Structure 1
Amino acid sequence: MAQETAYTEDNIRSLDWKEHIRMRPGMYIGKLGDGSSADDGIYILLKEVLDNSIDEYVMGAGKTIEVAIQGNRVTVRDYGRGIPLGKVVDVVSKMNTGGKYDSRAFKKSVGLNGVGTKAVNALSSFFRVESTRDGKSASAEFSEGNLQNEDIVDETSRRKGTKVSFVPDEIIFKNYKYRNEYIIKMLKNYVYLNPGLTIVFNGEKYFSENGLKDLLNDNINQSDKIYPIIHLRGDDIEIAMTHHKTQYSEEYHSFVNGQNTTQGGTHLAAFREALVKTIREFYNKNFDASDVRKSVVSAISIKVMEPVFESQTKTKLGSTDMGGDLPTVRTYVNDFLKTQLDNYLHKNPETAEKLLRKILQAERERKELSGIRKLAKERAKKASLHNKKLRDCRVHLDDLKNDRRLESTLFITEGDSASGSITKSRDVNTQAVFSLRGKPLNSYGMNKKIVYENEEFNLLQAALNIEESLEDLRYNNIVIATDADVDGMHIRLLLITFFLQFFPELIKEGHLYILQTPLFRVRNKKETIYCYSDEERVNAIEKLKPKPEITRFKGLGEISPNEFKHFIGDSIRLDPVMMDNNMSVEGLLEFYMGKNTPDRQEFIINNLKVELDLVEDLKA
């Protein structure tokens, strides 16, 4: 019989603000991560500080924001009004303290609850805030949220504004590093949403004149657009859209009060509905909604008074009202599109003609696919009842109330031995495994029909739940886990081809990764070191000399489940698969998977020597 545990007043304790944030960081910044994913905590820390500077710009104070990252130290400097000098410490260290409760000062603010900078402070080993205004300056330094010192300078020639520096705490964020690609994407979104604002990052300037039109132009190659971008602006709304020539699925970039709502919300649902309604009325034809939206690439930004988000990280809008005496979000978006898009199509008959052709083409393709799609769905439904390919997890990305949904991961493995090791050592709550039967089909140049005809592709699409759009994606991280040999590399390439061909937005939105697994294990009786490169192997041998035992892992199946849990747990190493915006999807696929071109031959020759050198070293 279990022994009863005492439960008295001594068991009840109140955590102060910083203790609570440090004990439950996920409540404030989502997942922790190591910087390999755009939604990892270290980027949320930067975003929380930046949001305050952006709000200053929105209020008409300061046209330039400077961001610098040197090693792990982050500095954000704005030229806004500066925090009131007597409140510098309180604003970054006292809960329920801030300027944004006064809706007169911050009517349509991003950082609406004043928690952001407190979370950054509590989760940083070093945090410094300095405010300058009226020729005076005040600063305060903290460590893990604890005040170390503060200072007031009565006379200074420094320009007014606020400067925040911080170093994320390595106790909480393990083995992390900032990736410039993610930071640049974040900063570009800020300038698209705030035309006229300049952000300088490590000396590089970012600026936008045309708002969301620039966003789409930077994300879609010119040759991939069916018609020129439609760009519509209103008082509290901005929309940009076009249709893609080769992309099958819908792609949306949505924002509320300058916040990138990656999970969409009421405003995006309203836009998708209003787009179909407006186009049906313009052409006076009852098109199927999926035909209207197929291949659409669009961006929507709205401003809402006191918005309600579904989490602290503000990735999904929950508000149904615009605020004040304005109508609901749904009515507001619908009325705007009904008037503005209809007017645009009347004034631009050439665009209207190209759009109509695209919709009719989508209709033809859907009807051609309808028979096989129905059969494939029945097959997938049957397979899901006893699907040997998928070992599912309990928490998924669409579980919006679950704190761990951003950790949801699908490992795509080759063969039974590799999938067996991962299945036995995974976290069953957040990690699922999809096992491939040998090499997948090369889908380059094929149409969507192949996704339904090929059993593995159909089951993979069903497991991810991405047939219609990314909105219902079940896993935040899709990880290709193959051996680090020629066959493994080939399988990676074939899977990346599949995603590029049919679901490129999965890559654009940063969901696809390659799992790094160790090449060597170096150990003596006291210590074991896993090495991911030849350089790490040499360092480990030096550290564990005189005669450590060295094991070379040839495949994932050789790594025991007990060892594998180290490589897919807290210390997991992931390489994100990223797209170069300068090259179209079609161009990318043609280069890597098309007929053997001189360009590709030159690329292979230039990159082969490095690989061969590594192989020779490994043999030695």
Structure 2
Amino acid sequence: MAEKKEDLFNAYTEESIRSLDWKEHIRLRPGMYIGKLGDGSSPDDGIYVLIKEVIDNCIDEHMMGFGRQIDIRITEHGVTVRDYGRGIPLGKVVDVVSKINTGAKYDSKAFQKSVGLNGVGTKAVNALSAQFKVQSNREGKTKIAEFERGTLVKEHKETKTTEPNGTLVTFIPDSQIFKNFRYVPEFLEDQIWNYCYLNAGLIINFNGKKYVSKNGLLDLLQRKVNEEEIRYPIIHLKGDDIEVTITHENQYGEEYYSFVNGQHTTQGGTHLAAFREAYVKTVREFYKKDYDVADIRASIVAAVAVRVQEPVFESQTKTKLGSQYVSEGGPSMKSFVLDFLSKELDNYLHKNPSVAEALKKRIEQSERERKELSGIKKLANERAKKANLHNRKLRDCRVHCNDEAEGKNKEEMQAKKLETTIFITEGDSASGSITKSRNVETQAVFSLRGKPLNCFGLKKKIVYENEEFNLLQHALNIEDGLEGLRYNNIVLATDADVDGMHIRLLMLTFFLQFFPELVKNGHLYILETPLFRVRNKKRTLYCYSEEEKQAAIRTLGGKPEITRFKGLGEISPEEFGGFIGENIRLDPVILRKETAIPKLLEYYMGKNTQERQGFIIDNLRVEKDEVAESSEAGVAEPEEAVLED
């Protein structure tokens, strides 16, 4: 031990100290600048942050009164964004995208209440792009600069142009950093719509389609809720530097969409905390009754947007606001939101007695449900403690989504928090493989005994009465909402057979019925694992579909050995490590606007309806796998019934 310590001491010399230039540091520690890398299966993956950083600059121009339109084109690998703002001053085109801490956001006269403040955004995009091009059009002149991985390769001379003022940015994310990435259309569309909702009247042309919002956050909430399920018409309140929309559904939990200066703060922050507190205080004062906090906020769906001067975010990705004040010398965030709600919401409820009555009924319904649950909750929570959660069901990780990120490694910690994942597996063999191959820093495993209960149509007390559901609820820490969520990614890891699909459906039912906000906020995924292994003596290829298997056979030539994986337990821990590491494939569970959760669950998980029986009969086919060819032996797979989606 002493020798090892001495070796480490001697290895730490002047040569150990390195000074990285800006692009080297960004490429070496991308998580500090764009959060987690990811492959695009999560809405907070880095490839979407790159797009956001470029669009944010366009939005800042729009907010300053320059440019009512933004043109965006996103193909399989490339992104082009064009605004019609003032255009970057031509003499600084190169510096603005390649010199750290260079930009106009430090000048409060040029930019007020903007998103970007640190002069980092487009530099990070530049450094993390295989190709990056910026063009500025300003007062009849234009200038172009081209980069590769942050290095300037061509700086064009200024020339004359008839193009209107504005900035054009084109980039291709670097595949060396973003491995096997893809853009999920729904995530891109949500991103575009959010910009429109927060900037009513702004026109965004995205891939040939026009996006525009006339009513701001009212349009946002109308898109997020199902009109048949809300208890009263959406309340829409606007003031100086604040906008709020509120309604209640019949679902469990709380659902919030929060924004600062046009930035979607997915992890909330001081403004959302102030809203939640102010809402409770205002409602209590209006009804002159000391309702429980949980009853007032149960089933709420709300959006809140504020404008803040020089906002302080908890990380470069700007997902959580840390500002305590609206502006220097101005009111605190808490008093600003409270003053607004205590006046505007109170006025609204007085003017709309039918809404006030519907809200009161919803609160009192929650109160009755909470009291029904109180006894069983206490017993269930005591049982959960006795169950010794850590040993019995959960193999935990070291970092959690709700950990505080502080100190000099704050940005790295923030990136790790985004990577926190819990795999929900079936049986000991599958969980054993994942447990042995996982990253213990950020990946946890929760093992199911077998098929969980079909909870469709059951009340929330079943979450406490059913030991497995109760333990899972405790592992995720979602009993009182998403604020304490311990894992950013909840991944269903089941076998790709009939039983595995059934377990997947049962777990989806559990989350959609009792914790729909988890799904709506993009936390739930399905793990994709390979169906086939195709190999010869020199090379092994893993295939996720029949098409990939045929391509692998052609690539390897001859008669390679083919293995069909029927269950996760058949994949060795050594192999599994490659499927849940940086090349992990996840399918996000996405709820579209037109999806009505009760109807969806009734169709798939209710009693056998004629519609579902017809669907199964029409889509059932019997497929026979090809005989698996092997250099040693061929094994014929059995016939299998497959339900086509």
Q: TM-score range by the shorter chain?
A: over 0.9
Task: Name the residue aligned to 2:293.
Answer: 289
Q: Structure 2 unaligned segments of length 5 or more: list them.
A: 406-412, 629-636, 639-645
Structure 1 position 8, deviation (Å) = 2.6
Residue equivalent to 1:100: 105
CA deviation after TM superposition for structure 1 residue 152, in Å = 2.9
What is the CA deviation profile of residues 14-45 of structure 1, one whole-angstrom value per residue up to 9, with x for unaligned ones?
10000000000000000000000001000000
Distance in 2, matches of 1:252 and 1:467, equals 16
Distance 1:208 1:614 in 2: 51
What is the deviation of 1:386?
4.9
Which string of whole-angstrom CA distances, capped at 9 and with x for unpartnered residues, describes residues 328-353 of structure 1? 00000011100111100000000000
CA distance in 2, matches of 1:583, 1:95: 44
* SS in structure 2 at match of 1:450: helix
Aligned partners of 2:390 and 2:396 also within 8 Å: no
Q: Which amino acid aligns with 2:342?
A: K
Partner of 1:34: 39
**Higher mean Cα deviation, 386-395 or 527-536?**
386-395
Shift of the 384–253 alpha-carbon distance from structure 1 to 2, 3 Å rule, reads farther
CA–CA separation in structure 2 for the residues paired with 1:337 and 1:421: 52
Write out per-residue CA displacement over residues 261-285 of structure 1, whole angstroms, 9 at most, x where no aligned residue. Answer: 1111111111111111111111110
Letter of the structure 2 residue corresponding to residue 58 of structure 1: M
The 5 Å alignment of 1:441-480 reads: 441-480=453-492
1:182-193 mapped onto 2 (5 Å cutoff): 182-193=187-198
The CA distance in 2 between the partners of 1:43 and 1:483, in whole Å, is 30
The alignment yields a C-alpha RMSD, in angstroms, of: 1.3
Which residue does the alignment assign to 2:444? 432
CA–CA separation in structure 1 for the residues paired with 2:18 and 2:618: 63
Amino acid at match of 2:379: L
- What is the CA deviation profile of residues 417-467 of structure 1, one whole-angstrom value per residue up to 9, with x for unaligned ones? 111111111111110000000100001011101000000000001100111
Residue 596 of structure 1 and its aligned partner are, at CA, apart by 2.8
Report the Cα offset of residue 414 of structure 1.
0.3
Q: Is it true that 1:362 corresponds to 2:366 in the alignment? A: yes
Question: How many residues get paired?
Answer: 617
Task: Please tell me whether the aligned partners of residues 221 and 584 of structure 1 are also in contact (alpha carbons under 8 angstroms).
Answer: yes
Q: Which of the numbers 534, 546, 555 marks the counterpart of 2:567?
A: 555
Indicate how the Cα distance of structure 1 residues 599 and 199 shifts in structure 2: closer, same or farther if over 3 A, else same. farther
Aligned pairs (5 A) from 1:172-187: 172-187=177-192
TM-score of the pair, normalised by structure 2: 0.94
Select which of 88, 91, 109 maps to 2:93.
88
Q: Aligned in 2, Cα 1:424/1:6: closer, same or farther, shift over 3 Å?
A: closer
**Given the superposition, is the C-alpha separation of residues 146 and 607 from structure 1 closer, same or farther in structure 2, using an over 3 Å criterion?**
farther
Matching residue's letter, 1:437: R
Picking from 112, 131, 134, the partner of 1:129 is: 134
Q: What is the DSSP-based 3-state SS (H/G/I as helix, E as strand, rest coil) of the residue aligned with 2:595?
A: coil
The residue matched to 1:475 in structure 2 has which SS?
coil
Alpha carbons of 1:314 and 1:400: their partners in 2 closer, same or farther (altered >3 Å)? farther
For residue 614 of structure 1, report the CA deviation from its aligned partner: 7.5
**Counterpart residue type for residue 54 of structure 2:** V
8 Å contact 1:124–1:144 — kept in the other structure?
A: yes
Q: CA-to-partner distance for each residue in 1:246-272, whole Å, 9 max, x for gaps?
A: x11011101111111111111111111
Taking the aligned partners of 2:611 and 2:95, their CA distance within structure 1 comes to: 59
Going from structure 1 to structure 2, the CA distance change for 1:62 and 1:608 (only over 3 Å counts) comes to farther
Equivalences for residues 237-276 of structure 1 within 5 A: 237-245=242-250, 247-276=251-280
Q: Distance in 1 between matches of 2:345 and 2:99?
A: 47
Matches for 1:140-155 after TM superposition, within 5 Å: 140-155=145-160
Deviations 1:181-238 (A, max 9, x none): 1010011111000000011111111111111111110010101110000111000100
Could you tell me how far apart the structure 2 residues matched to 1:471 and 1:422 are?
27
2:375 pairs, out of 371, 374, 397, with: 371
1:321 maps to 2:325: yes
Change (3 A) 1:55 1:386: closer
User: Which letter does structure 2 place at the counterpart of 1:186?
Assistant: Q
Distance in 2, Cα, partners of 1:584 & 1:479: 23
The percentage of aligned residue pairs carrying the same residue is 67
Which of 349, 352, 371 aligns to 1:348? It is 352
Once the two structures are TM-superposed, the CA of residue 113 in structure 1 deviates from its matched residue by 1.1
User: Aligned to 2:309, what secondary structure does the other structure show?
Assistant: coil
Q: 2:582 aligns with which of 570, 587, 593?
A: 570
CA contact (8 A) 1:534 1:617 kept: no
Deviation of 1:616 after TM superposition, in Å, equals: 6.9
Is 1:236 matched up with 2:241?
yes
**Structure 2 residue 544 is matched with structure 1 residue 532:** yes
Q: Are positions 1:499 and 2:503 aligned together?
A: no
Alignment of 1:330-409 (within 5 A): 330-384=334-388, 386-401=390-405, 402=413, 403-409=415-421
AA of the residue aligned to 1:6: A
- The equivalent of 1:164 in structure 2 is 169
Structure 1 SS opposite 2:549: helix
Instruction: Give the residue type in structure 2 aligned to 1:512.
Output: L
Shift of 1:70: 1.7
> How much has 1:545 moved relative to structure 2?
1.8
The structure-2 alpha-carbon separation of the partners of 1:161 and 1:605, relative to structure 1 and needing over 3 Å to count, comes to farther
Give runs of aligned pairs for residues 207-218 of structure 1, distance below 5 A: 207-218=212-223
Query: Equivalents in 2 of 1:147, 1:275: separation in Å?
Result: 51
Q: CA deviation at 1:594?
A: 2.0
Secondary structure, aligned partner of 1:152: coil
Q: Does residue 517 in structure 1 map to residue 529 in structure 2? A: yes
Task: Determine the structure 2 residue equivalent to 1:200.
Answer: 205
Amino acid at match of 1:311: S
Residues 1:67 and 1:386: Cα distance change in structure 2 (over 3 Å): closer
For residue 410 of structure 1, what is the amino acid of its counterpart?
I
For 2:155 and 2:613, the matched residues in 1 are separated by 61
User: Match of 1:224, SS?
Assistant: coil
Determine which of 543, 556, 580 is the counterpart of 2:555: 543
